[in-house]
Structures are given as C-alpha cells and as structure tokens.
Amino acid sequence: MMNAQNETGKKTAAAFRKVLTYIGRYRILLFLSLLLAAISVILQLYIPILFGRAIDCIVAPGEVDFGTIAHQSGRILILLAVTALSTWLMNLTNNRLTYRTVQDIRAKAIRQIQNVPLSYLDAGSEGDIVQRVIADVDQLSDGLLMGFTQLFSGIVMIVMTLVFMLQRSVPISVMVIVLTPVSFLIARFIAKHSFAMFKKQTEVRGQQTALINEMVGNEKIVHAFNYGERASKRFDAINKELQKYSVQAIFFSSLTNPCTRAVNAVIYALVALAGAFMIPGGSLTVGTLTVLLTYANQYMKPFNDISSVFTELTGAMACAGRVFDLIEATPQSPDPEKQFAQPVSGAVSIQDVSFSYTPDHPLIEHFSLTARPGMRIAIVGPTGCGKTTFINLLMRFYDIQSGSILIDGTDIYTVSRGSLRRQFGMVLQDTWLTQASVRENLAFGRQDATDEEIIAAAKEARSWDFIRRLPMQLDTVINDDDLSQGQKQLLCITRVMLVRPPMLILDEATSSIDTRTELLVQEAFDKLMAGRTSFIVAHRLSTIRSADVILVMRDGKIIEQGTHEQLMAAGGFYTNLYNSQFAGTAI
C-alpha cells in the first residue's frame, strides 16, 4: 500500500513538473499574477488593522473618537476598492495564463497524434484518444485555473498573515504556527488516496467515451444486428465502474473541507481563549485581539482553499498524466530531408521484405517484387493474406522489419514520408470526407486547383452528375450523412484524379459503386493509369483481368504470379479463386 502511495505521489509530482515547463513560457503573466496576489492579500490584511484602530477609539459611552473612526472608515473603503480591482486583474491574468498553457498542451497533443506511428493509434481506441485531447485537457484547465486563482493568493495570505500576527503577538503567532502542520498532514493523506481514484476515474471515462463513440458512429449496424440491448449492458457495466471510482474519489476529496475546518475552529478557539487571558494584563487590547482573531480566521482559510486546490489539482494531474503519456509516446522514426528527384518514373523494386504486426505472428516473409514504370499490378488473395499490409508498407504507414523498397532506385527510407506519399494517389474501400465544401474535399491534395480543373476531374470520375445537382454545387458543405457510400467514393476518386500522381494505389476503389457507373469509372481509371505504375487490390477479379501482372498472395507470400490468361491456364489457386466468383466453386 505504501509503495502504491509513493508511486502515486511520484506520478503526481512528475505531471506537475511537466505542466510547469509549459507555464514557464509565460513568466511575465506568472510574475504579474503573483504581484497582484501579493497586493490584494496585503491590503486585505491591512484592513483589519484599521478596523482594530477604529474599535480602540470606542473607549466608553460618551468617549468615542468619531473623527478618527470616520478617517479610518474612509481609508477602509479606498483599500476595499483597490483590493477588488487587484483581485479582478489577478483573475483575468490567471485566466489568460491558464488557457494559453492549456492551448499549448492541446496543440502539442494534436501534433503528436500526427507524429506517432499508426501502430500506436491502432493499439488504442479512438474514443480514448479523443478523451485525452478534449475532456482530460479541459479538466486540467479547470484544475490549473483554480490553482492559480487560489493557490497563489493562499500562499501569499499565509506568509503575510504570519508577518502581521508576529508584529501583534509573538506567543499567539507561535501557537498558530505549531498547529499548522495538522492541516498539511490531513491534506497530504487525502491527496494521496484521491489521486489513484481520480486516475481510475479518467481511465474508465475514456473507455466509456470510446464505447459511446463506437455505438453512435455505427448505429445502423447496432440496430441491424439487434445489438442495442448488449450495448446497453456493456455501457451499464462501464458506467457502474465509473460510478464506483467517482464515488470513491469524491468521498476522499470531500473529506478535505470538513477536516481542515475542524482544525481551523480549534485554532480560532485557542486564539480567542489565549487572547482573553492576555487582555486583563495589558498585553493585548480588545482591538488587537479582534485583529488577531481576524488574522487567525484568514490564516486558516487559505489552508481550506489550498486543500481544495490540492484535491482539484490531484484530479487535474491524473488527467495531465494521461495527456503527457500521449505527448511523450515514442514518435515515428526521424524523417530524412531528402526528396524524390522529379519526375518519378514509377519503377518499384521490393527486395526480400519481411513484416509482422507482432513478433510472434509473422505476416509477410521474404516478399520480393519488381514493377516496371507504367505496369498495372493487381494483388489478390483471401482475406488476411497481407494485401492491405503490403500497401501500408509501400506508403510507409508501417516500417518493414527487414529487406528494402526502392522507387526509381531510391530507398524509400532515405527520403521524407511526405515526398514518398506525394508520389502515390490512393483510393481506399473506406471513404473519408471532411465536413467542408465539396470544393475543399476535392482539392484536399491540391489546394491551388482551379474550379475548371476540379470540374474536369469530376466529369472524368463521373461525379459531376450528382455534384451539379447539389444545392450549391461545389460550395455545398457536406458530411457523411449527406451522401450515399457510392457518391462518397466517387468524390474520393475525383480527389485522386485531380492530383494525377506518378503512381496509383486502388484498394477496392469501386466496391461501393453500381455496375454501370463502375464501368464508366473504370474507363476513367484506365486513362489515369496509362503510363503510371498502379497497384490494384481487388476482390472482384473481373476488374483486374487486364492487369499486366497479377500477384496471388496467401499467408503473406506470393504463391502465383502472371497474367490472367497464364494463371487460368495454370489451373492453380487463382483459377479456383476466380471460378468461385462466377461458378460457385469452393476454394
């Protein structure tokens, strides 16, 4: 148990140090916040002195110094106004400091998502990553805002109160100081226990977000398979677990205020008792005791606030730890600055390549292939044979474990990923469109494309027929629900048509298009592929009969290769695969 608590404390401290590095970029705002906190606190502490002087002017009935009381009252009003202004400016500064810090952390997290390898993103759920970047950073923001607003002024309040108290009565001040560590010990005990609960709470909340994201994003499939009840049960299980950790976290954090208030009440009572015995001897006046009681109350109040801050910061640091886990994830291997020499002819040489997603499950082993410029290479085989994995390796979405891949004699690992990917146009079976205008979606890879070029590419890809019927044509803002799957795929094809890259990758590019449109798009592809090296992943074998070479893959290896006629004449695996689509023959 003790080791777990120590580990928790170390994680909290580590997360806080990392946050401080981001805060350090805004030293001027930090200094201004501290200065305003000091001004506000000093004035708050000086006002009781004025009250004490006014009280001492009331000696007995008929012996009241109204002039001094009026003078002190005027000074109190002025100081209250200045204190209010200082507090307002401090809060304004803290807001700016907090939100700029959080903005930097969130921006760093977003940039890191672009830099981590796909294997990192594939290993986690989308919902959990969204939870870290959005909700966890928001909770960090709330914790920092409370911290800057209450922690700075609280610390200054404690220090300055002690200074003012020591000037009034050393014995009472020493008594208060001796009892102070009790509040610290209570706050420390609660913080250690609540951190672990807050960390569990944020982790389970990430799982909940991931589940909601999956269910809402695939609601049609959920309804189609009557999965709703099971999804609800899964949600209930996660929700109960979240409730358990949330209740435990709230229980520990809620102990802070009553415990520290109890200690404060004891200290306040002791100050009043000690002061009452000191007044008859002349060591204190009634006004001075009033000031000391006010200071005792003000001195202990920051401990309540700081205890609450520690509780809030504990949850915030648990969230910060998750965000920094993302920010500090091992990035993809460094990108060389070298670019491909232009123009690229499209000669591809793959030499003895091996790859596996996990070390104990080899997928592609000793894969070799030579493609001349302008060749059409079709890749076929049963599900899970490595077709899409081969495409991922060609685009460097994953890095090979051994072997080499060369384009025009240049190893793809000696050039930047951006330069490599600019050589390929890629149309996948899974379509992706951003919520923006049709024009922005089509010009995704060519920001400088003119409307004439976009329309020409759309006509060539057979997408202009439905684009021109949209309410605002190219200016129509679209999202996934506005278009059919076939229309979205036509837009993705148009996007590649507009770029006209040296090489193409078509992974079931026409799978969601009707037969008539597919024939028209195939004609457009034939024009586009002319003179371009093309890799075509296909399940419908009728679409790749004209390929220059067909690679038949099984278990990560090329087991057959040749033209359609050669493979059919061989009567091997490809023949069975082809016949199964047209004659129902088992593989």
Location of structure tokens 């493979």: 567
Q: What is the pLDDT of residue 517?
A: 67
Mean pLDDT of 469-495: 80
pLDDT at 73 over 80: no
pLDDT band at 225 (very low <50, low <70, confident <90, very high): low
Q: What is the pLDDT of residue 4?
A: 47
Among candidate residues 547, 552, 580, the one with its CA nearest the CA of residue 564: 547
Neighbours of 307 (CB within 10 A): 25
Pick 75 or 149 by higher pLDDT.
75
Q: What is the pLDDT of residue 1?
A: 43
C-alpha 551/C-alpha 571 separation (Å) is: 15
Query: 318 and 405, same structural domain?
Result: no
Query: 525 and 467, same structural domain?
Result: yes
Q: CA geometry: angle at 323 spanning 321 and 327, to 5°?
A: 110
Q: Would you give the distance in Å from CA 229 to the centre of its chain?
A: 30
pLDDT per residue as tens digits for the range 517-540: 677 667 777 777 777 888 888 776
Q: What is the pLDDT of residue 229?
A: 76
pLDDT at 221 over 50: yes
Structure tokens given for 229: 């009840």
pLDDT band at 244 (very low <50, low <70, confident <90, very high): confident
Amino acid type, 227: Y
Query: 357 and 293, same structural domain?
Result: no
Report if residue 337 sits inside a domain: no
Window from 167-171, 219-223, 239-243, 344-348 with minimum mean pLDDT = 219-223
Q: CA geometry: angle at 450 spanning 447 and 452, to 5°?
A: 145
Report if residue 230 sits inside a domain: yes
Query: 382 and 267, same structural domain?
Result: no
pLDDT band at 2 (very low <50, low <70, confident <90, very high): very low
Query: 67 and 15, same structural domain?
Result: yes
DSSP-derived 3-state class of residue 47 = helix
Report if residue 287 sits inside a domain: yes
Query: 358 and 323, same structural domain?
Result: no
Q: What is the pLDDT of residue 584?
A: 47
C-alpha 74/C-alpha 390 separation (Å) is: 82
DSSP-derived 3-state class of residue 292 = helix
Contact indicator for 50, 300 with CB cutoff of 8 Å? no
Query: 396 and 293, same structural domain?
Result: no
Window from 46-60, 152-166, 260-274, 430-444 with minimum mean pLDDT = 46-60
DSSP-derived 3-state class of residue 243 = helix
Q: What is the pLDDT of residue 220?
A: 65
pLDDT per residue as tens digits for the range 414-461: 888 888 888 888 877 777 777 788 788 888 877 788 888 888 888 887
Report if residue 177 sits inside a domain: yes
Q: What is the pLDDT of residue 411?
A: 84
Q: Would you give the distance in Å from CA 387 to the centre of its chain?
A: 32
pLDDT band at 272 (very low <50, low <70, confident <90, very high): confident
Report if residue 224 sits inside a domain: yes
Contact indicator for 499, 457 with CB cutoff of 8 Å? no
pLDDT at 586 over 60: no
Query: 569 and 521, same structural domain?
Result: yes
Query: 376 and 296, same structural domain?
Result: no
DSSP-derived 3-state class of residue 415 = coil
Window from 31-40, 60-69, 329-338 with minimum mean pLDDT = 60-69
DSSP-derived 3-state class of residue 163 = helix
pLDDT per residue as tens digits for the range 117-145: 777 776 666 667 777 787 777 777 777 76
Report if residue 79 sits inside a domain: yes
Q: What is the pLDDT of residue 407?
A: 85
Mean pLDDT of 62-68: 66
Window from 173-187, 197-211, 297-311, 313-327 with minimum mean pLDDT = 297-311
Mean pLDDT of 324-342: 76
pLDDT band at 62 (very low <50, low <70, confident <90, very high): low
Mean pLDDT of 141-153: 70
Q: What is the pLDDT of residue 557?
A: 75
Query: 374 and 319, same structural domain?
Result: no
Mean pLDDT of 234-262: 78
Report if residue 191 sits inside a domain: yes
Mean pLDDT of 37-66: 70
Q: At what angle do helices 485-499 and 515-529 cross, to 10 degrees?
A: 10
Report if residue 343 sits inside a domain: no
Among candidate residues 308, 327, 402, 331, the one with its CA nearest the CA of residue 364: 402
Structure tokens given for 104: 């930097």
pLDDT per residue as tens digits for the range 561-571: 888 888 888 88
pLDDT per residue as tens digits for the range 359-409: 777 777 788 888 888 888 888 877 767 777 888 888 888 888 888 888 888
Query: 405 and 305, same structural domain?
Result: no
DSSP-derived 3-state class of residue 428 = coil
The total of structural domains in the chain comes to 2
CATH classification at residue 566: 3.40.50.300
Among candidate residues 368, 334, 352, the one with its CA nearest the CA of residue 401: 352
Query: 323 and 352, same structural domain?
Result: no
Q: What is the pLDDT of residue 11?
A: 67
pLDDT at 6 over 60: no
Neighbours of 431 (CB within 10 A): 19
Q: What is the pLDDT of residue 38?
A: 79
CATH classification at residue 311: 1.20.1560.10
Q: What is the pLDDT of residue 300?
A: 67
C-alpha 367/C-alpha 403 separation (Å) is: 8
Window from 111-120, 232-241, 438-447 with minimum mean pLDDT = 111-120
Range of 457's domain? 348-582
pLDDT at 250 over 50: yes
Please report, for residues 382, 463, 490, the alpha-carbon distance to residue 517 in angstroms, rounded to integers and kept in the order given.
Answer: 26, 10, 10
Average pLDDT, rounded, for the chain: 76
* DSSP notation for 463-516: -HHHHTTSTTGGG-EE-TTTS-HHHHHHHHHHHHHHH--SEEEEESTTTTS-HH
